[in-house]
Amino acid sequence: MIENEQVEEIFLILEDKLDKTVSVLKDEFAAVRAGRANPHILDKIQVEAYGGMSPLNQLGNIAAVDARCLVVSPWDKSLLKAIEKAILASNIGINPTNDGNVIRLVFPELTEERRKDLVKQVKRMGEEAKIAVRNVRREAMESLKKMKTNKELSEDESKACEQDVEKKIAASIEDIDKAVSAKEKELLTI
């Protein structure tokens, strides 16, 4: 890469956006139910508590008892009904069991059809991430073209920078593909 503050800034922004895109995709994958009890599936659930909405994971402990069961132990037992209601409203496909002390979530075995639906969902999420990566590439390329037009970069420098952008984009797309295939394998493993 050439020595130029503006070019370095373009690449820092590019790398930051690419890292965030891959990171967000992996976070979204953590919430996709793979038939195993994963506490992350409850990360986005908001519970009406103390006059406002609070994330479920801030109202108690969430633990995986075994491969198929999560237990939510609220610090305040008076929130059990509100937590149960929030889980039901979240459409994660699991019915909570409230025993007066904790809430149990038993994950049923995924059917073949449900696994295939989840694989399609994962692939769609991967495609959306690739679209985001391509948009980041377009922004970086436009910035480089603008510098070339303003004679801040020579033709050769511009070409070299564009090749560096393409390498970084290809690496990010490869990371996305690896994450998608790993999640796909996890979903299809019985």
Q: Is the dihedral of CA 125, 128, 134, 139 positive or negative?
A: negative
Cα 11 → chain centroid: 23
Quick check: do 5-31+111-188 and 39-106 share a fold?
no
Do 126 and 177 meet the contact criterion of CB atoms below 8 Å apart?
Answer: yes
Assigned token pair, 50? 């103390």
Domain limits of the chain? 5-31+111-188, 39-106
Against a cut of 0.85, is the pTM above it? no
Residues 6+ apart with CB under 8 A from 62: 39, 42, 56, 70, 71, 72, 73
Q: Look at residues 22, 20, 23, 40 and name the one whose alpha carbon lies nearest to residue 32.
A: 40
Q: Domain 39-106: which topology?
A: Gyrase A; domain 2 (3.30.1360)
The pLDDT score that the predictor gives to residue 141 is 94
Read off the pLDDT of residues 146-167 as tens digits, 9 standing for 90 and up. Answer: 998 988 888 888 899 999 999 9
DSSP code, position 178? H
Assigned token pair, 38? 């994963």
The pLDDT score that the predictor gives to residue 190 is 63
Largest CA distance in the chain: 71
The pLDDT score that the predictor gives to residue 21 is 94
Token pair 């801040």 in the structure block, residue: 152
* Weakly modelled stretches of the chain, pLDDT under 50: none
**Average pLDDT, rounded, for the chain:** 87
Token pair 């073209």 in the structure block, residue: 145
Q: Which CATH code, of 1.10.132.20, 3.20.20.140, 3.90.550.10, 1.20.120.50, is assigned to 5-31+111-188? A: 1.10.132.20
Residue 69 pairs in a beta bridge with: 66, 106
User: For 34, how many CA atoms within 13 A lie in the half-sphere containing its CB?
Assistant: 20
Do 87 and 42 meet the contact criterion of CB atoms below 8 Å apart?
Answer: yes
